[in-house]
Structure 1
């Protein structure tokens, strides 16, 4: 898998989060893909459970703007340092950041994600 192909999949992943487009987002993943988001929580089978994830984003946020600050590709994996800025439905601004490690399979689909970030910090901003 080329560095460019991996960066293209990652760009589509974040673009579909920004668009809050569940079908486009899920299409980036292998059928048996697993997500650890955040790491420390039970892993989720993406194709079984992640439409609900995008629905939750739509329920809370009016707008999400992800920025990929750095992408480090090694083999079929990439570590991405990202920042997310959002505006909630109640007009609160939030900024949170993290690192997600992506494993890409030979078909060019995301096989596994491991996201390192603190959801409690985001929720605290929404409640402030």
Structure 2
């Protein structure tokens, strides 16, 4: 289902607000979207952004995640497709994340990202189905399929 025709739900509203805050590097705005007990697994499993493999937990942990992984790059998020669930509190998207770091280093990854919100519309879980092997790296505007 296209993002343009997905019914407005608390999960859709929160996920889109999350993308706006991330792209604007709005740390305070992004953290305001999170429940106190939020868990972010981006990606699911052990990775540089999820060292324990059990996710980043709580607003303080998510703030550190933002500082380490979002604030340091210019991130563009493209939603390719949206999949609403039968619950207004959960949604999945196919997203392409394009990062540009200082010095011209770039990375692109495409994955499935799920969002769950509580009754207040705050994000309780965000999970990314992608891995480092799928990431495309580049330099100075070019991209290639090497991973290193």
Q: TM-score, normalised by structure 2?
A: 0.73
For structure 2, list consecutive stretches of 5 or more residues without a partner in the other structure: 1-6, 46-52, 139-146
Cα distance change on mapping 1:20 and 1:29 into 2, 3 Å:
same
Q: TM-score, normalised by structure 1?
A: 0.84
| Shift, 1:120, TM fit | 5.2
RMSD: 1.9
Which residue in the other structure is 2:41 paired with? 36
**Helix, strand or coil for the counterpart of 1:125?**
strand
Relative to its length, the structure with more helix (as a share) is: 1
Cα distance change on mapping 1:85 and 1:103 into 2, 3 Å:
same
State the structure with more CA Rg. 2
Matching of residues 23-62 of structure 1 within 5 Å: 23-40=28-45, 41-56=53-68, 57-59=70-72, 61=73
CA contact (8 A) 1:21 1:54 kept: no
Aligned structure 1 segments of 4 or more residues deviating by more than 6 angstroms: none
For structure 1, list consecutive stretches of 5 or more residues without a partner in the other structure: none
**What is the number of residues matched between the two proteins?**
123
Match 2:19 to one of 14, 18, 36? 14
Match 2:114 to one of 88, 97, 101? 101
